Structure 1
Amino acid sequence: MTVQSALQEEQQRLGMTVREIETQLAAIGPAYTGNDFTEQMLDLQREERKKRLEIAYKEPYFGRIDFQELPGNEVKPLYIGKAGVAKDRTNELLVVDWRAPVASLFYSFTGGDAAVTYDSPDGEVEGHVHLKRNLMVRQRELVRLVDSFTRGQEEDAVTDEFLLYRLGENKDNRLRDIVSTIQQEQDLIIRSERNKVLFIQGVAGSGKTTVALHRLAFLLYQYAGRMRAERMIIFAPNRMFLEYISGVLPELGVGDIQQTTFADWSLELLEHEVALRGAEEQLAYWFEQSHTQEELDRAPGRLKGGAAFKAEVDERIAELERTLAPAAPFEPVDGLVLKPETILEWFNTDYGEESVMRKRERLASRIRRWFESELKVRRIADKKVRAKALTRLNAYIKKIPSYTAPQLYATLFQGKTASAIIPKELAKETAARLKNGEVYPEDLAPLVYIHLRLFGLSQPMYDHIVIDEAQDYSPFQLEALKLCQTIPSMTVLGDLQQGIHSYTGIGRWQELMGLFGEEQTGFFELNRSYRSTMEIIEFANRILGAMEGVKPAVPVFRSGDPVQLQAVADNEWLDEIARSAKALEQEGGLQTISVIGRTAVECEMIHAHLAAAGIEASLIQSKQPNYNGGLSVVPAYLSKGLEFDAVLIADAGAEAYGKLDAKLLYVGCTRALHKLKVLYRGTPSPLVQPA
Structure 2
Amino acid sequence: MSGEADVAGTLEAERAHLEGARTALRRMREHAESLSADAAGDWVSAQILEALLDQRIQALADHPDTPLFFGRLDHLPGDLPETVYVGRRHVHDDGGAALVLDWRAPVSRSFYQAGPSEPMGVARRRRFGYRGGDLTAFEDEHLDGRELGESRLLTEEIERPRTGPMRDIVATIQPEQDVIVRDDLAKTVCVQGAPGTGKTAVGLHRAAYLLFTHRERLSRSGVLIVGPNRAFLSYIAGVLPALGEVRVDQATVADLLGGPTGVEPDERAALKGDARIVDVLRKGLWLHVTKPAEGLLVVRGGARFRVPDHEVRELVAELRGATRYGTGREALARRLAHRVLVLMEQRGEAPDDRVHDAVARSRPVKALVDQVWPKLTPQQVLFRLLSDAEFLARAAKGVLSEEEQALLRWDKAPRSARSARWTDADLALLDELGDLIERTASLGHLVVDEAQDLSSMQLRALGRRCATGSATVLGDLAQGTTPWSARTWTEVLHHLGREGEVTELTVGFRVPREVLDYATRLLPSIAPGLAVPRSLRPGRGSLTVREVPDTAKAAVAAVRDLLSRDGSIALVAADSEVASLAALLEAEGVPHAVLTPDSAGTDRVQLVPAPLVKGLEYDHVVVAEPSAIVAAEPRGLARLYVALTRAVTSLTVLHTTPLPSELTRPTPPPTTT
TM interval, shorter chain, is: 0.7 to 0.9
**C-alpha displacement of 1:564:** 1.3
Alignment TM-score, normalising by the size of structure 2: 0.85
Could you say if the C-alpha distance between residues 100 and 655 of structure 1 is closer, same or farther in structure 2, counting changes exceeding 3 Å?
Answer: closer
Q: Specify whether residues 43 and 636 from structure 1 end up closer, same or farther in structure 2 by C-alpha distance, changes over 3 A only.
A: closer
Q: Say whether the 8 Å CA contact 1:55–1:251 is kept in structure 2.
A: no
Residue 68 of structure 1 pairs with residue 82 of structure 2: no
Question: Which runs of 5 or more residues in structure 1 are unaligned?
Answer: 117-127, 269-274, 287-298, 380-385
Aligned pairs for 1:303-382 (under 5 A) are 303-317=271-285, 323=289, 326=292, 328-332=294-298, 336-340=305-309, 342-343=311-312, 355-364=324-333, 367=336
* Residue 281 of structure 2 is aligned to residue 300 of structure 1: no
1:78 aligns with 2:59: no
Q: Tell me whether 1:212 sits opposite 2:203 in the alignment.
A: yes
Quick check: 1:417 aligned with 2:391?
A: no
Deviations 1:472-518 (A, max 9, x none): 012222222333334240111111110011x1221111212234788
Q: 2:371 aligns with which of 399, 419, 425?
A: 399
Distance 1:81 1:357, change over 3 A: same
Aligned to 1:540: 519
**1:144–1:507 distance in 2 versus 1, CA, 3 Å:** same
Q: What residue in structure 2 maps to residue 198 of structure 1? A: 189
Q: Following TM superposition, by how much is the alpha carbon of 1:78 offset from its aligned partner in structure 2, in angstroms?
A: 1.0
Specify every segment of 5 or more residues in structure 2 that has no aligned partner in the other structure, as ranges. 350-357, 667-673
Note the alpha carbon deviations across 1:194-243, whole angstroms, 9 max, x for none.
Answer: 12221110111211111111111111111121112762211110111111
Aligned: 1:640 with 2:644: no
How far did residue 30 of structure 1 move?
Answer: 3.8
Which residues in structure 2 correspond to 1:509-658 (within 5 Å)?
Answer: 509-515=489-495, 520-547=499-526, 548-569=528-549, 572-585=550-563, 587-590=564-567, 592-598=568-574, 600-622=575-597, 624-653=598-627
Letter in 2 for 1:86: H
SS of residue paired to 2:82:
strand
Say whether the 8 Å CA contact 2:450–2:474 is kept in structure 1.
yes
Distance 1:229 1:672 in 2: 39
User: In the alignment, which residue of structure 2 is the partner of 1:448?
Assistant: 431
- Give the drift of 1:643: 1.0
CA distance in 2, matches of 1:340, 1:482: 40
In the alignment, the residues of structure 1 paired with residue 629 and residue 602 of structure 2 have an alpha-carbon distance, to the nearest angstrom, of: 31
Instruction: After TM superposition, give the deviation of residue 406 of structure 1 in Å.
Output: 2.2
Q: Residue 52 of structure 1: CA displacement?
A: 3.9
- Give a deviation string over 1:109-158, Cα, whole Å, max 9, x none: 1224x553xxxxxxxxxxx21011112355653122122x2144844513
TM-superposition CA deviations, 1:382-430 (whole Å, max 9, x none): xxxx9xx976545323202332112223444431425242624313327
2:654 alignment partner in structure 1: 679
Q: What is the CA distance between 1:346 and its match in structure 2? A: 6.1
* CA distance 1:504–1:13, change in 2 (3 Å): same
| CA distance 1:614–1:640, shift in 2 (3 Å) | same
Does the Cα contact within 8 Å between 1:594 and 1:646 map onto a contact in 2? yes
Which of these residues, 12, 21, 32, is aligned with residue 17 of structure 1? 21
SS at structure 2 position matched to 1:634: strand
CA distance in 1, matches of 2:629, 2:133: 54
CA positional deviation for 1:604: 1.2
The residue aligned with 1:53 is 60
Q: Is the 8 A contact 1:55 1:82 kept in 2?
A: no
What is the identity, as a one-letter code, of the residue corresponding to 2:127?
Answer: N
Where 1:8 maps in the other structure, the secondary structure is: helix
Counterpart secondary structure, 2:192 = strand
Q: Distance in 2 between matches of 1:150 and 1:187?
A: 20
Distance 1:566 1:670 in 2: 17
Shift of 1:183: 0.8
Structure 2 CA distance for partners of 1:631 and 1:445, relative to 1, 3 Å:
same
Deviation at 1:365, TM superposition (A): 5.1
Paired letter, 2:270? R
Matched, 1:408 2:415: no
Query: What code does the residue aligned with 2:646 have?
Result: R
Matched with 1:233 is 224
- The separation in 1 between residues aligned to 2:7 and 2:524, in whole angstroms, is 45
1:136 to 129, 132, 150: 129
Render the CA deviation track for 1:5-31: whole Å, top value 9, x for unaligned.
432332232233233333444444545
Q: Secondary structure at the match of 2:269?
A: helix
**Are the counterparts in 1 of residues 463 and 495 from structure 2 also a CA contact under 8 Å?**
no
How many angstroms does 1:465 deviate by? 1.0
Deviation at 1:544, TM superposition (A): 2.4
**CA positional deviation for 1:689:** 2.4
* 1:98 corresponds to 2:103: yes
Deviation at 1:251, TM superposition (A): 0.8
1:248-300 per-position Cα deviation (integer Å, ceiling 9, x unaligned): 111111122221111121117xxxxxx53016xx5xxx6xxxxxxxxxxxx33
Please state how far the C-alpha of 1:315 moved relative to its aligned partner: 4.0
TM score, norm. by length of structure 1: 0.83
Using the alignment, how far apart are the partners of 2:372 and 2:103 within structure 1?
57
Task: Go from structure 1 to structure 2 and tell me whether the alpha carbon gap of 1:644 and 1:130 turns closer, same or farther (over 3 Å shift).
Answer: same
Q: State which drifts further: 487-496 or 679-688.
A: 679-688
Checking the alignment, whether the CA contact within 8 Å between 2:573 and 2:623 is kept in structure 1 is yes
**1:390 & 1:487 partners in 2: Cα distance?**
37
Secondary structure of the structure 2 residue equivalent to 1:566:
strand
Between the aligned partners of 1:523 and 1:8, the Cα distance in structure 2 is: 46
d(CA) in 2 for partners of 1:12 and 1:426? 70
Deviation at 1:316, TM superposition (A): 4.0
Give 1:182 shift. 0.8
For the Cα contact (< 8 Å) 1:303–1:421, is it kept in 2? no
Query: CA separation in 1, counterparts of 2:173 and 2:595?
Result: 31
Amino acid at match of 1:80: V
Quick check: 1:326–1:343 contact (8 Å CA) kept in 2? Answer: yes
Question: Partner of 2:615: helix, strand, or coil?
Answer: coil
Q: 1:410 touches 1:431 (CA, 8 Å); kept in 2?
A: no
Q: Structure 1 CA distance, aligned partners of 2:156 and 2:518?
A: 23
User: 1:499 aligned to 2:475?
Assistant: no
Secondary structure of the residue aligned to 1:466 is: strand
Between the aligned partners of 2:659 and 2:20, the Cα distance in structure 1 is 60
> Cα gap change, 1:229/1:560 in structure 2, threshold over 3 Å: closer, same or farther?
farther
User: Any residues of structure 2 matched to 1:385-396 within 5 Å, and which?
Assistant: 392-396=364-368
Aligned residue pairs total 632
Give the AA of the match of 2:325.
Answer: V
Residue pair 2:569, 2:620 contacting (<8 A) in 1 also: yes
Structure 2 residue aligned with 1:166, among 157, 174, 180? 157
